[in-house]
Amino acid sequence: SMSTVVLDTITGKSTATTITIGSTPVVSASATSMTIRGEGSAQTSIQQGLGKTWVNFKGTDTFGERDSLNVTSLTDGGAGAYTVTIANDMANINYCSTDSIGSFPNANENFGFSYTSTHATGSVKLFTANTGASANVDFSNNNVLLHGDLA
């Protein structure tokens, strides 16, 4: 039979900082970090795996943000040039940025490429262009995701 435990707080009997299921430690915590069991016996940092900033926005027709996390503002800097201003800054400029563009919902846009540039702790720039184009162009679906340490 299955049992259900309902509670608001779990308090350990000692100063242990590890949650163990059976004989396998699955979560470890300290004052500044929490890890979870990954593959084999490897531990993965939960904080390092979280996206710290992301934004999805429209670059064509009426420019605007669709949804975001940890973004103060989004600036249209002209054709295919945007600045994402981060609400809670990154700790340094060595964060990882992932970006993508697409033709959502316009299926007639050409293939293109995008890249982030000018990493600052409080902002990042995105540029978009058609493949083979000599100048930047706007796309209808733009995405930027940042991983790294928050300040």
Mean predicted lDDT score pLDDT of the chain:
85
Write down the residue that tokens 């995008």 correspond to.
Answer: 114
Q: Which pLDDT does position 135 carry in this prediction?
A: 80
Model confidence pLDDT, tens digit, residues 15-73: 667 777 777 777 788 777 788 877 777 778 888 788 999 999 999 889 999 999 999 99
Q: Which pLDDT does position 63 carry in this prediction?
A: 93
Contact 39, 28 (CB under 8 A): no
Confidence of residue 102 (pLDDT cuts 50, 70, 90): confident
Q: Which pLDDT does position 145 carry in this prediction?
A: 96
The amino acid sitting at 53 is: T
Q: Which pLDDT does position 13 carry in this prediction?
A: 62
| Residue 137 CB partners (closer than 8 Å, separation 6+) | 79, 80, 112, 128, 129, 130
